């Protein structure tokens, strides 16, 4: 079956990660590859709410029948997918949480901050916190919506969590976001050092995608 997943994100790193995990069964593209799609609004208080908002906004845009760079009728199956994920640090009462990508932004509604700025703020806030109290986790929620123009379709949610610890300095340069600071449980190297092959086996997104893949293989 020729299957397409349209991902409601402007973060190419996420698209690349998902593509590596899901190929060759599914072709993954960012929503901008379809056309002039507006950036989704992330106004929810939880990962579940934000993922649902993003996939529903993408569906609403497609249902307006905009001109598309890639005709969807080329595919046997088309699904819309949104990811909302982030880092929860226990010593910071779960922050940065849903604000992970814009943690260091002066205004949480002004857009994402750079990885360097977010990491610097996290390290600064954790300076007084001893190593044994730096427990944290990456959490991912995926929202899937079948593409069925002008019909009712339900959003399905899939979650994954990776427990770990925050280091007091950068380790490695692979990955993105908080990867160089996060040591997954049971490993003595950070996500920035482990490499993409290992990360794609144990990460929060990998676990959520496994649940998603099982669902996608089921007959509709």
Q: Tens digit of pLDDT for each residue in 116-159?
A: 999 999 999 999 999 899 999 999 999 999 998 666 788 999 99
The pLDDT confidence band at residue 16, using thresholds 50, 70 and 90, is confident
Task: For residues 193-217, give the mean pLDDT.
Answer: 91
Mean pLDDT confidence for 39-51: 92
Helices within 126-168 (DSSP H only)? none
> What percent of the chain stands above pLDDT 70?
96
Rounded to whole angstroms, the Cα distance separating 35 from 113 reads 25
Position 47 confidence tier, pLDDT thresholds 50, 70, 90: very high
pLDDT at 85: 94
- Residue 109 pLDDT class (50, 70, 90 cuts): low
Mode of pairing for the β-strands spanning 135-146 and 77-89: antiparallel
pLDDT at 204 exceeding the cut of 90 = yes
**Average pLDDT of the chain, as a whole number:** 91
Q: Which of 191, 155, 205 is nearest to 21 (CA)?
A: 205
How far are the Cα atoms of 10, 15, 184 from residue 31, in angstroms, in the given order?
8, 10, 30
Give the torsion sign (CA, 104, 195, 29, 46).
negative
**Distance of alpha carbon 219 from alpha carbon 4, whole angstroms:** 16
Q: What is the mean pLDDT of residues 197-214?
A: 92
Strands 77-89 and 3-7: parallel
Task: Check: CB of residue 180 under 8 Å from CB of residue 119.
Answer: yes
Report the alpha-carbon angle 6-16-28, nearest 5: 25
Closest by CA position to 213, among listed 10, 28, 40, 16:
28
Taking 70 as the threshold, does the pLDDT of residue 25 lie above it? yes
Lowest mean pLDDT among 46-60, 97-111, 135-149, 159-173: 97-111
Q: Is the pLDDT of residue 110 over 70?
A: no
When pLDDT is averaged across residues 197-206 and rounded to a whole number, the result is 92
pLDDT digits (tens, 9 = 90+) for 177-194: 999 999 999 999 999 999
Q: Choose the weakest-confidence range: 15-19, 163-167, 210-214.
A: 15-19
pLDDT for position 156: 95
Q: Which domain holds residue 191?
A: 3-217
Number of domains comprising the chain: 1
What is the rounded distance in angstroms from the CA atom of residue 49 to the CA atom of residue 62?
20
Is-catalytic flag, 84? yes
Angle between helices 204-217 and 12-22 (to 10 degrees): 50
Dihedral sign, CA of 115, 118, 120, 126?
negative
Which pTM was predicted? 0.90
Instruction: Tell me the CATH number at 53.
Output: 3.90.950.10
What's the mean pLDDT in 49-75?
A: 92
Residue 203: CA atoms inside 13 Å, Cβ hemisphere, count?
A: 27
Indicate which residue of 84, 90, 174, 179 is catalytic. Answer: 84
* C-alpha to C-alpha distance for 90 and 92, rounded to whole angstroms: 5
């Amino acid at each position: 079956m020729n299957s397409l997943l349209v991902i409601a994100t402007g973060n190419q790193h996420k698209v690349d990660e998902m593509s590596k995990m899901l190929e060759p069964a599914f072709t993954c593209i960012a929503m901008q590859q379809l056309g002039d799609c507006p950036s989704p609004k992330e106004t929810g208080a939880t990962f579940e709410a934000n993922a649902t908002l993003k996939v529903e906004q993408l569906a609403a845009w497609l249902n307006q029948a905009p001109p598309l760079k890639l005709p969807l009728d080329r595919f046997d199956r088309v699904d819309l997918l949104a990811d909302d994920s982030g880092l929860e640090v226990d010593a910071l009462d779960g922050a940065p949480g849903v604000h992970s990508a814009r943690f260091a932004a002066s205004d949480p509604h002004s857009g994402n901050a750079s990885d360097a700025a977010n990491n610097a703020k996290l390290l600064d806030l954790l300076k007084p916190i001893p190593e044994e109290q730096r427990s944290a986790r990456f959490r991912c929620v995926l929202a899937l919506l079948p593409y069925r123009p002008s019909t009712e379709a339900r959003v399905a949610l899939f979650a994954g969590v990776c427990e770990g610890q925050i280091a007091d300095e950068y380790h490695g340069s692979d990955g993105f976001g908080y990867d160089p600071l996060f040591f997954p449980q049971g490993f003595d190297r950070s996500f920035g050092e482990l490499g993409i092959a290992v990360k794609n086996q144990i990460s929060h997104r990998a676990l959520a995608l496994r649940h998603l893949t099982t669902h996608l293989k089921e007959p509709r």
